[in-house]
Structure 1
Amino acid sequence: MTNSADFESFLKDINPSKSTIDEASRLHRNLRDHLKASETYGAICKDTYLSGSYAKQTFIRPKKDSDSCDIDVIVETNHSINDSPFCVLLELEDAIRERECYKNVRVQTHSIGIDMANFHLDVVPLVNDEDGLLYIGSKDDSEWRQTNPKEHLTWSTEVNKEFNGDYKPLVKIMKWWRRENCPSLVKFPKGITLEKMIADNLPEAGLSIEDCVMQVMANLAVAYADELDSYQVPFIEDPAIEGNNLAGKYCYNDFAQFVDKLNEHLSHLADEGTGNSVWKQILGNNFPSGGPSCGTTSSAKSKNQQYALSVQHRQPLGFPMQARKPNATITATVKLPSGEIRVLENDGAPIPKGSTIMYRVNCGPVKDGKVKWQVTNTGDEAMKVCPRGGFELPNIEKTSRREETAYTGKHYVQCFVIRRGYCVRWSNPFFINVE
């Protein structure tokens, strides 16, 4: 298990620096002040404000000598949907070019792009209809489409608040994962689309950062299995505009490869453990080095585990293994008799009797797969009363298992996913120690 401090350090590293934030603030304020004060454009410009990941505070720092920091600036104009989107864009471009400092300026599909050193500004003009609704235009098809950037900001803030402030850090990690792993000719979901996908598939609250990342990866891999099995692009509901599909601009292959990469990394975590070296392969070289894999144990601990795994009442699975290596992981939280809730580490510190444990399996999707939990206990007290070693069905939702601690000793669970008579997913054992 990677130390939470390493994930905190990683988050700090991928956040934009103070100098980057200060310079971004200076650039967008200068631009907005210029548009409002312009003799030719001031009367057209009704309002300006920020949008996108910079405004939502979900943006990550640019890579050195490659990416630029993107800043989205919204310009509400006094134009209407009866005006030409291309003409509205050209008018905004002319106003921006009034200042000599804006040299690298170009008309894009929906916006005016400005490149300045390590920053890229997207300046997006919007218009109103007679009901006051906002629209964004496209120079490619001359169409106006409804938008609501302020509502996206409000929505993001509310989701983060409801998830105890852990949503935005999780978004940043997954955005960095996307940057590190998206092939050059493929378009993995990004921006508001990825943010909404994460919000729709959040893990349970209270987990460590590492467990949150693993669980959201597993949730994302499972969530769109039915659509992808039917070769359809998933429908990702816009939180600001009912009926608008945020994924409409993506193709099937974008989502298919996105899910394939998630499954590849989930299998890697299950097979190799969750040490820092594994996370470096998944999240890139910015992740801290050091720290052993969670599979690394002392000789005494390993000996005790081997004894627990060899007890005679542990039943054989009874299904041929289609997957040769473990390709699922287990995360667990415990509610102690005192009411305290904490994340459990595999074979970690002892917990008292009367605790309630929630086990969750993190793995890729298996259509029509059935989850089986093998629950095995050891120790003299359990052997006298309840020598369990068989297979149980999930008793929380479709895949999770809740257990109560009642007997002193080393106990463990293992998860298997059965499909058409074969075991297609399985995890390493997850050990607990009961006082």
Structure 2
Amino acid sequence: MKLHEHFKVFLDDHVNLNSTRLSLLEDSIVAVENAVRALDWGPRVISFAPQGSWAHETIIKPQSEQPFDADLLVFVEAVDGWAPKDYVNSLATGLGNLPVYKEKVRRYSHCATIEYAGERKIDVAPCVVNRLYAGQYEVCNRIADQFEASSPLAYTEWVKGKNSVAGGNDLKKVTRLLKYMRDIKGNFTCPSFLLTTLMGLQVYESDRGSAQFADLTTTLKTLVGRLDDWLQVRPTVPEVPNPKLPQEDQASGWDQTKYSNFRDKVNLYRGWIDDAFNEADRDESIGKWQRVFGENFAAGEAKRAAEQVSEAATAGALVLGGHFQDLVEKVKALGAAAVPAKLLRLPHIRRPTWRKANEQYKVKIAAELRTGKYERAFRSVRSAEPLQPGYWVRFTAANAMGVPFAEDYKVQWRVTNTDKVAARAGALRGEFYPSDDGSSRAEQLSYRGVHFVEAFLIRKRDNRQVGQSEPFYVVIE
């Protein structure tokens, strides 16, 4: 499902840089521009221009306790006799001598960076204009002491042009979503400028008004699908020329390992996006979109669905009949058959992230009741059997014959709580947990409700899923 309303809220609340921070950034930029113009640092200042994510409007909210940054170019005339490093060093020295920026200025390869107490950073980069010929732009590499050709204004116009073709500012929004996904997952590397170029390359002039760009979610599916197709026919690190400066290979920072990993992850996430987009069940679709973007996506609806299981049951939405106090009473009276299938599709449940192997094995769960986590078992437990809180249950996974799995495999457990008591305690869970003893895991019985445990068999050598048990229902009175 497209879930437009949830994508809008998700972007506003978790992805986009909020208006307060943007206002602070804009105020800081004005102050920096005024300071640089007033400095007696050598070159004559021609103008300023935003650069990077700020200029392309793909800047995103930073992860917790991380600063956000913006790039500001200062276009200057060449100074006779100056080396490239002189422009950066003189600018950094001049800014650092101002009381307002004292101890806030750092020097990097191409810029002087002003750091605002961990909240934001502004990279101020000198760009020398017309040094050798009219229309020439060069940034200054302080470390290598070299001038480097640049085309910042033309590149920004290229990004804006691609966004215009896609329509609805959806190219910018998709780029923000992918940057957010990169940052929260932390398992692939792609610099923002390279990601911006790769996404822009997937938009063609013939796409103007195309149904493949009808809305944000469709655009996301289209662009990630095209990017995956582009990557899959390029098994080795490709050249990615700057579309407005062909001699610059934007992929030069990638080695084969980083590129192969990026290529694999895009292929994986393309499958997840297609799966979530094509899913007809709303709860299941929310859960699948959460697999892509994390638990902040549609978090409110996911929590409500989990905590209102009994209301839905007594209203007849999940199970037939409305004369039971809650779902626990229904299951106590009618057994496991009263557990609604919809329970297994609740959106807060984490969807598996392992790729499935071609071969799949039967996985069965056995359970034993204990008085403590490490106490001896005093009897076995059946799925959907009503149990009293305070006890412990140890779950053990085995094959169809009851034989434990070999050391070549590991068992991951998905433990899911439902209903109001667990919700009030902030313990709806639904995540994956490792075994704590061989192929078994112990859990304490704590919250009234119908909960369930599942075992996932993972092959260690390639981290592929080779089996999944049926849910073992845990009914706590």
TM-score tier, shorter chain, comes to 0.5 to 0.7
For residue 37 of structure 2, what is the amino acid of its counterpart? K
TM superposition shift of 1:90: 1.0
> Deviations 1:8-52 (Å, cap 9, x if unpaired)?
1112121111110100001111011011122x1375322222111
Q: Superposed, which structure 2 residues align to 1:72-111 within 5 Å?
A: 72-79=71-78, 83-102=82-101, 103-111=103-111
Residues 30 and 263 of structure 1: is their aligned pair in 2 closer, same or farther, counting only changes over 3 Å? same
Q: How many Å separate the matches in 2 of 1:156 and 1:71?
A: 17
* Residue 223 of structure 1, aligned match among 230, 250, 257: 230
TM superposition shift of 1:80: 5.6
Q: Superposed, which structure 2 residues align to 1:321-400 within 5 Å?
A: 323=358
Return 5+ residue gaps in structure 1 as ranges. Answer: 293-297, 300-320, 326-435
1:240 corresponds to:
244
Q: Percent identity?
A: 18
Q: Superposed, which structure 2 residues align to 1:136-285 within 5 Å?
A: 136-164=139-167, 165-183=169-187, 188-202=189-203, 205-228=212-235, 232-269=236-273, 273=279, 275-285=285-295
For residue 53 of structure 1, what is the amino acid of its counterpart? S
For residue 149 of structure 2, what is the amino acid of its counterpart? Q
For residue 174 of structure 1, what is the amino acid of its counterpart? L
TM superposition shift of 1:5: 0.9
TM superposition shift of 1:77: 2.0
User: Is the partner of 2:106 in helix, strand or coil?
Assistant: strand
> Deviations 1:308-359 (Å, cap 9, x if unpaired)?
xxxxxxxxxxxxx98569xxxxxxxxxxxxxxxxxxxxxxxxxxxxxxxxxx
User: Is the partner of 1:275 in helix, strand or coil?
Assistant: helix
Larger radius of gyration: 2
Residues 82 and 5 of structure 1: is their aligned pair in 2 closer, same or farther, counting only changes over 3 Å? farther
2:10 corresponds to:
10
1:341 corresponds to:
none
Q: How many Å separate the matches in 1 of 2:81 and 2:359?
A: 62
> Deviations 1:99-125 (Å, cap 9, x if unpaired)?
222122111011111110310111101
1:287 corresponds to:
297
Q: Superposed, which structure 2 residues align to 1:52-131 within 5 Å?
A: 52-65=52-65, 67-79=66-78, 83-102=82-101, 103-117=103-117, 118-128=119-129, 129-131=131-133
Q: How many Å separate the matches in 2 of 1:124 and 1:269?
A: 38
Residues 138 and 207 of structure 1: is their aligned pair in 2 closer, same or farther, counting only changes over 3 Å? same
TM superposition shift of 1:262: 1.9
Residues 41 and 169 of structure 1: is their aligned pair in 2 closer, same or farther, counting only changes over 3 Å? same
**What's the TM-score, normalizing by structure 2?**
0.56
1:412 corresponds to:
none
TM superposition shift of 1:2: 4.3
For residue 26 of structure 1, what is the amino acid of its counterpart? D
> Deviations 1:228-251 (Å, cap 9, x if unpaired)?
2xxx32111212212321111222
Residues 75 and 269 of structure 1: is their aligned pair in 2 closer, same or farther, counting only changes over 3 Å? closer
Does the CA contact (< 8 Å) of 1:77 and 1:126 recur in 2? yes
Moved more, 25-34 or 263-272: 263-272
TM superposition shift of 1:196: 1.1
Residues 3 and 271 of structure 1: is their aligned pair in 2 closer, same or farther, counting only changes over 3 Å? closer
Residues 271 and 162 of structure 1: is their aligned pair in 2 closer, same or farther, counting only changes over 3 Å? closer
For residue 163 of structure 1, what is the amino acid of its counterpart? A
Residues 182 and 258 of structure 1: is their aligned pair in 2 closer, same or farther, counting only changes over 3 Å? farther
Does the CA contact (< 8 Å) of 1:237 and 1:245 recur in 2? yes
> Deviations 1:121-142 (Å, cap 9, x if unpaired)?
1110111322130111212222
Q: How many Å separate the matches in 1 of 2:107 and 2:256?
A: 29
TM superposition shift of 1:171: 1.1
User: Is the partner of 1:242 in helix, strand or coil?
Assistant: strand
Residues 49 and 265 of structure 1: is their aligned pair in 2 closer, same or farther, counting only changes over 3 Å? closer
Q: How many Å separate the matches in 1 of 2:213 and 2:230?
A: 21
Q: How many Å separate the matches in 2 of 1:218 and 1:115?
A: 38
Q: How many Å separate the matches in 2 of 1:74 and 1:37?
A: 16
Q: How many Å separate the matches in 2 of 1:271 and 1:33?
A: 51
Residues 115 and 287 of structure 1: is their aligned pair in 2 closer, same or farther, counting only changes over 3 Å? same
User: Is the partner of 2:109 in helix, strand or coil?
Assistant: coil
Return 5+ residue gaps in structure 2 as ranges. Answer: 306-317, 320-355, 361-477
1:48 corresponds to:
48
Residues 42 and 20 of structure 1: is their aligned pair in 2 closer, same or farther, counting only changes over 3 Å? farther
Residues 226 and 73 of structure 1: is their aligned pair in 2 closer, same or farther, counting only changes over 3 Å? same
Q: How many Å separate the matches in 1 of 2:231 and 2:179?
A: 19
Q: How many Å separate the matches in 1 of 2:178 and 2:214?
A: 16
Q: Which has the higher contact order (CA 8 A, sep 6+)?
A: 1
For residue 195 of structure 1, what is the amino acid of its counterpart? T
User: Is the partner of 2:78 in helix, strand or coil?
Assistant: strand
Moved more, 193-202 or 74-83: 74-83
User: Is the partner of 1:126 in helix, strand or coil?
Assistant: strand
Does the CA contact (< 8 Å) of 2:72 and 2:122 recur in 1? yes
Does the CA contact (< 8 Å) of 2:237 and 2:254 recur in 1? yes
> Deviations 1:341-395 (Å, cap 9, x if unpaired)?
xxxxxxxxxxxxxxxxxxxxxxxxxxxxxxxxxxxxxxxxxxxxxxxxxxxxxxx
Q: How many Å separate the matches in 2 of 1:19 and 1:28?
A: 14
